[in-house]
Chains A and B, each alone.
Chain A
Amino acid sequence: VQGPRGGVGGGNDFQWCFSQVKGAIDEDVAEADIISTVEFNCSGELLATGDKGGRVVIFQREQESKNRLLSRGEYNVYSTFQSHEPEFDYLKSLEIEEKINKIRWLPQQNAAHFLLSANDKTIKLWKISERDKRAEGYNLKDEDGRLRDQFRITTLRVPVLMPMDLMVEASPRRIFANAHTYHINSISVNSDYETYLSADDLRINLWHLEITDRSFNIVDIKPANMEELTEVITAAECHPHQCNVFVYSSSKGTIRLCDMRAAALCDRHSKFFEEPEDPSSRSFFSEIISSISDVKFSHSGRYMMTRDYLSVKVWDLNMENRPVETYQVHEYLRSKLCSLYENDCIFDKFECCWNGSDSAIMTGSYNNFFRMFDRNTRRDITLEASRENSKPRAMLKPRKVCTGGKRKKDEISVDSLDFNKKILHTAWHPKENVIAVAATNNLYIFQDKIN
């Protein structure tokens, strides 16, 4: 059910406004600074980003203050740490990049926060905790750190805890390594709060959060002969409520839903979601553009959304033969597939996300554009993450791409789109209309403004 603040904005309900932009302004972008994943935690109070340099930056929302009336709580840096380092696999002569592929928050279990971060091979569990007390008083040293004469110790001192400036610590708690031969593309925490899955190109493993030395292989699509390989796993996710259900998508544009209750090995799926191909639109690129780059369950657990190169599809878990909704993200690129193939853009992995009430969805495009679709009104909007309108609370103007015919004022022609500026990673606050959009090395945060 759509709340009063659902929807994609741009209509008469509300408008998206600029809130913040993080990251350097320089035109010259360091490779390591490119953001590779964005994720809100379960309450939305924290926002984590990972980058190609293996770093994780966590932003915390400031408490809303009464005296700054229009301030809606900005996100400020809370903790920054190096999650992964570049490594070298000596046995295979392979470099292992430090790039963070995915971050997933764990449900909060005490005052500290926990997240999983993964690069191509290794998953780490991080604890982010606060410390505001410090012990004081030594027996063998005085206040200035000078050693006391050991023979002058007449009484024993027990250290006393004194308040100190807040310190945020990030510490690695577990390292889940050596279980993936191929590159990890997804991690997903199970609703039983004790397991999570990790997927690479050919296999999906199930881990216990407290056990690092073994995991269970639940899906293995590696053929005995690698020459017979026809599809790879592109994404996987656990159902938000049913701890036994997970889905994985493939490069052939299909999604398999598996039930872990049925068998220990989930090589046989329970449901198979596939839309029959329209033979009239078949082309050389059909298979490439139908490859699914992301799959996400709705918060309700009733639907799932898949992103392929040109569209977003919403599937009802109870209907396998076709999606219930299909949204075109940038249909105007269909005529450009040839050049997109040549510059490798056709293999870009766009992600997608739901808003908190599942009434709207968001996904990225090129030229720093991102798209939102209102599932109820079927309205859609194209917005741009740009420094040009980065004044506080400046409204975001809807953008339009001109598709043939005469270009109207304010429209952009397809040919002038910048394909180097792509928005692959976006996140929507789980409860409010606050979105985080990663544009290369910059993180934009937008909020709604109710008219």
Chain B
Amino acid sequence: MGTGTGGDDSLYPIAVLIDELRNEDVQLRLNSIKKLSTIALALGVERTRTELLPFLTDTIYDEDEVLLALAEQLGSFTVLVGGPEFVHCLLPPLESLATVEETVVRDKAVESLRKISQEHSPVDLEVHFVPLVKRLASGDWFTSRTSACGLFGVCYPRVSSTVKAEIRQHFRTLCSDDTPMVRRAASSKLGEFAKVLELDYVKSDIIPLFTALASDEQDSVRLLAVEAGVSIAALLPQEDLEDLVMPTLRQAAEDKSWRVRYMVADKFSELQKAVGPEITKNDLVPAFQNLLKDCEAEVRTAAANKVKGEVLPEDSRETIIMTHILPCVKELVSDTNQHVKSALASVIMGLSTILGKDNTVEHLLPLFLVQLKDEYPEVRLNIISNLDCVNEVIGIRQLSQSLLPAIVELAEDAKWRVRLAIIEYMPLLAGQLGVEFFDEKLNSLCMAWLIDHVYAIREAATCNLMKLVEKFGAEWAQNTIVPKVLGMANDSNYLHRMTTLFCINALSEVCGQEITTKHMLPVVLKMSTDQVANVRFNVARCLQKIGPVLDSSALQAEVKPVLEKLATDQDMDVKYFALEAISGMYLFNLPTYIFSETFSFSSILFFFFSFSLSP
């Protein structure tokens, strides 16, 4: 329609998109930018190159999110400008995006530049791409120079040896830039650049740069050199490591600044892998011992996370840990800082698989026990959450005597988040401790949580019961927990009565049809006459939930009459949920108009509101 005047209505949506590129509403601009490929497709390659891209090149005034989207789009625009032959047309807009102050935008522009660099022919790379990198590298502002650091690595392998030499020179210059921002960027890209360099140049060029950056006056630069050291070490043959890399790494492990030492501790596994077993044994293990004893808690925390020594040489791993690491670990168990202890607690159990049964019983068990009694709940929790590792080696029974008081204490912790955390480990503990132990010691805790005064705990406790039944079976449920749960239906507190309903919601499916019909359903039905409306509408919801578990005769004979009665309840919400249950269970073919307006949104809101108010 409307084509009679010579117009083309297929252009209209595109015209809207183009106009919205400069709409005042950021969201519309953003939508338009995200559909840039549609616009480009409609304009054709020629107009995209000559009109759209020049316009986009100057759009860098926009909001960050728009610029970010633009930078991303341009990375996959090659086809839209006419294929690899014309890919260099994308460089100007990306170049201007690579100089903005927002790091995320710059990084995205660099990422797109790296991507399209691969689509340049070797000739185009030297004619168009490398000059761009050089321009950025010698830009006035550090934003452009930092962006340049990420681009050397992608063009280096594909250019002539003369250009290679220039690129190396530019990188060298940036490594000694005046601003720490650029030195940091260079430092973080050093490892990546080293990977594409010829080995000789790694030795002659990269090593001096690495040494210089690793002794930079700013610790923010030095700490990044640690990571570069890992990459470089992986590139060098073993015999060169000692002379070229190790002195610098040793120095980093003893740096004055805790942040640099922290980096060494944090990158320790990677470091071991890169330098190999010999140097690890002779050099890194003593360094690691020092990090475990570091005066700064942050460093000890990072080091404590690595005590398992995953990458230690297989044959000597046990000996190294026993003789060198374990003595430090013993001290850390009574560290003054809770974060150190809690980091240790999250990994210490893992040591048992490495050290075997006897060592675990003799050396580790006492440490576990100390940590189980730690004053900070987080430490105890971390031990408990990792019980499965130790279970495999020595069996959890060894621990049960100390475990129980720890669990009980956490279960009654004043902070509800701590209680919540321990509830989540209950199914795991139950599985490992066995049903007898559980019934004897832990069952009462699980039931007590059902009447906790914090809703989140009651909810978690309900879910916990379901998981326990999954583990121990329906019969166990019928004998131990179902009677207690159903008993709460007569509680004077309506919140506890509701908990019964929530438990039934959770348990009906795992308990199966028989228990549900015989034991649970009568209680639910009886509660339909509860005086509190919240209980009544939860009865309706509960009935809907357990409906699928029940057989149809029970549904027709028992559930239907109750729901019908609830559907005539005086309370709006009770009615609403009763009708919803009825329709949800397809008990009747209700005319749909019932749902149209009578039950407005406000009643639903009210429901949530009343819910959140319950203590």
Partners in one complex: yes
In the assembled complex, the Cα of A334 lies from the Cα of B333 at a distance in Å of: 59
Query: Which A98-128 residues have C-beta < 8 A from chain B?
Result: 107-112, 114, 127
In the assembled complex, the Cα of A263 lies from the Cα of B7 at a distance in Å of: 72
Q: Please name the residue on chain A nearest to B221 by beta carbon.
A: A192
B398 at interface (Cβ–Cβ under 8 A)? Answer: no
Q: Is A108's CB under 8 angstroms from B141's CB? A: yes
Q: Is A114's CB under 8 angstroms from B18's CB? A: no
Q: Is B219's CB under 8 angstroms from A244's CB? A: yes
Q: Is A158's CB under 8 angstroms from B18's CB? A: yes
B258 neighbours in A (Cβ, 8 Å): 261-264
Q: Is A109's CB under 8 angstroms from B18's CB? A: no
Q: Is A153's CB under 8 angstroms from B179's CB? A: no
Q: Is A161's CB under 8 angstroms from B58's CB? A: yes
Q: Is B5's CB under 8 angstroms from A157's CB? A: no
Q: Is B101's CB under 8 angstroms from A109's CB? A: yes
Q: Is B101's CB under 8 angstroms from A264's CB? A: no
Q: Is A156's CB under 8 angstroms from B18's CB? A: yes
B12 neighbours in A (Cβ, 8 Å): 150-151, 153
B220 at interface (Cβ–Cβ under 8 A)? Answer: yes
State the Cβ distance, A74 to closest chain B Cβ, in Å: 26
B99 neighbours in A (Cβ, 8 Å): 110
B172 at interface (Cβ–Cβ under 8 A)? Answer: no
In the assembled complex, the Cα of A157 lies from the Cα of B143 at a distance in Å of: 33
Q: Is B296's CB under 8 angstroms from A264's CB? A: yes
A244 neighbours in B (Cβ, 8 Å): 219, 257
Which of these binds chain A: B47-55, B283-291, B517-525? B47-55
Q: Please name the residue on chain A nearest to B100 by beta carbon.
A: A110
In the assembled complex, the Cα of A260 lies from the Cα of B296 at a distance in Å of: 11
State the Cβ distance, A163 to closest chain B Cβ, in Å: 11
State the Cβ distance, A369 to closest chain B Cβ, in Å: 40
In the assembled complex, the Cα of A241 lies from the Cα of B51 at a distance in Å of: 47
Q: Is B218's CB under 8 angstroms from A152's CB? A: no
Chain B CB count within 10 A is highest, among A112, A158, A160, for A158
A217 at interface (Cβ–Cβ under 8 A)? Answer: no
Q: Is A264's CB under 8 angstroms from B61's CB? A: no
Q: Is A152's CB under 8 angstroms from B219's CB? A: no
In the assembled complex, the Cα of A112 lies from the Cα of B9 at a distance in Å of: 42
In the assembled complex, the Cα of A159 lies from the Cα of B103 at a distance in Å of: 28
Q: Is B217's CB under 8 angstroms from A261's CB? A: no
State the Cβ distance, B434 to closest chain A Cβ, in Å: 44
Q: Is A107's CB under 8 angstroms from B179's CB? A: yes
A420 at interface (Cβ–Cβ under 8 A)? Answer: no
State the Cβ distance, A216 to closest chain B Cβ, in Å: 11
Q: Is B141's CB under 8 angstroms from A161's CB? A: no
A243 neighbours in B (Cβ, 8 Å): 180, 218-220
In the assembled complex, the Cα of A402 lies from the Cα of B582 at a distance in Å of: 97
Q: Is B143's CB under 8 angstroms from A109's CB? A: yes
Q: Is A160's CB under 8 angstroms from B55's CB? A: yes
Q: Is A159's CB under 8 angstroms from B22's CB? A: yes
Q: Is A264's CB under 8 angstroms from B15's CB? A: no
Q: Is A140's CB under 8 angstroms from B180's CB? A: no
Q: Is B297's CB under 8 angstroms from A191's CB? A: no
In the assembled complex, the Cα of A108 lies from the Cα of B257 at a distance in Å of: 28
Query: Which B1-37 residues have C-beta < 8 A from chain A?
Result: 2-3, 5-9, 11-12, 14-16, 18-19, 21-22
Q: Please name the residue on chain B nearest to A129 by beta carbon.
A: B61
Query: Which A260-298 residues have C-beta < 8 A from chain B?
Result: 260-264
In the assembled complex, the Cα of A150 lies from the Cα of B144 at a distance in Å of: 43
Q: Is A210's CB under 8 angstroms from B43's CB? A: no
Q: Which of A108, A192, A264 contacts B220 (CB 8 A)?
A: A192
B259 at interface (Cβ–Cβ under 8 A)? Answer: yes
A138 at interface (Cβ–Cβ under 8 A)? Answer: yes
SS class of chain A's interface: helix, strand, loop or mixed?
Answer: loop
In the assembled complex, the Cα of A112 lies from the Cα of B5 at a distance in Å of: 49
In the assembled complex, the Cα of A194 lies from the Cα of B219 at a distance in Å of: 12
Q: Is A193's CB under 8 angstroms from B180's CB? A: yes
Q: Is B43's CB under 8 angstroms from A140's CB? A: no
Q: Is B8's CB under 8 angstroms from A154's CB? A: yes
Q: Which of A150, A155, A192 contacts B9 (CB 8 A)?
A: A150
0/1 string, A140-172, CB within 8 A of B gives 1: 110000000111111111111100000000000
State the Cβ distance, B291 to closest chain A Cβ, in Å: 15
Q: Which of A114, A153, A158 contacts B101 (CB 8 A)?
A: A114
A30 at interface (Cβ–Cβ under 8 A)? Answer: no
In the assembled complex, the Cα of A301 lies from the Cα of B22 at a distance in Å of: 48
A156-B101 contact in complex given A107-B179, A193-B180, A263-B295, C-beta closer than 8 Å = no
B42 at interface (Cβ–Cβ under 8 A)? Answer: yes
B298 at interface (Cβ–Cβ under 8 A)? Answer: yes
A161 neighbours in B (Cβ, 8 Å): 54-55, 58
A242 at interface (Cβ–Cβ under 8 A)? Answer: yes
State the Cβ distance, B197 to closest chain A Cβ, in Å: 28
Q: Is B180's CB under 8 angstroms from A191's CB? A: yes
Q: Is A194's CB under 8 angstroms from B181's CB? A: yes
B22 neighbours in A (Cβ, 8 Å): 135, 159
A150 neighbours in B (Cβ, 8 Å): 7, 9, 12, 15
Q: Please name the residue on chain A nearest to B2 by beta carbon.
A: A151
In the assembled complex, the Cα of A18 lies from the Cα of B15 at a distance in Å of: 58
B415 at interface (Cβ–Cβ under 8 A)? Answer: no
Chain A CB count within 10 A is highest, among B14, B21, B141, for B141
State the Cβ distance, B500 to closest chain A Cβ, in Å: 38
B144 neighbours in A (Cβ, 8 Å): 110
Q: Is A133's CB under 8 angstroms from B58's CB? A: yes
Q: Is A193's CB under 8 angstroms from B103's CB? A: no
A131 at interface (Cβ–Cβ under 8 A)? Answer: yes
B219 neighbours in A (Cβ, 8 Å): 243-244, 261
Q: Please name the residue on chain B nearest to A141 by beta carbon.
A: B19
0/1 string, A408-447, CB within 8 A of B gives 1: 0000000000000000000000000000000000000000
Q: Is A151's CB under 8 angstroms from B9's CB? A: yes
B184 neighbours in A (Cβ, 8 Å): 194
State the Cβ distance, A154 to closest chain B Cβ, in Å: 6
Q: Is B7's CB under 8 angstroms from A151's CB? A: yes
B297 neighbours in A (Cβ, 8 Å): 264
Q: Is B142's CB under 8 angstroms from A109's CB? A: yes
Chain B CB count within 10 A is highest, among A127, A194, A244, for A244
6 closest A-B pairs by CB: A139-B15, A261-B257, A151-B2, A158-B51, A151-B7, A110-B141
Q: What are 23 A-B contacts defined by CB distance under 8 Å?
A: A109-B101, A110-B99, A110-B100, A129-B61, A139-B16, A139-B19, A140-B19, A152-B7, A154-B7, A156-B14, A156-B15, A156-B18, A156-B47, A157-B15, A158-B47, A158-B51, A192-B220, A193-B179, A193-B180, A243-B220, A244-B219, A261-B257, A263-B295
B-binding residues in A (CB < 8 A):
107-112, 114, 127, 129, 131, 133, 135, 138-141, 149-161, 191-194, 210, 241-244, 260-264
A-binding residues in B (CB < 8 A):
2-3, 5-9, 11-12, 14-16, 18-19, 21-22, 42-43, 47, 51-52, 54-55, 58, 61, 99-101, 103, 141-144, 179-181, 184, 217-220, 255-259, 295-298
Given contacts A156-B42, A193-B179, list 8 more A-B pairs with CB under 8 A: A140-B15, A153-B15, A158-B18, A193-B181, A210-B103, A243-B219, A261-B257, A262-B258
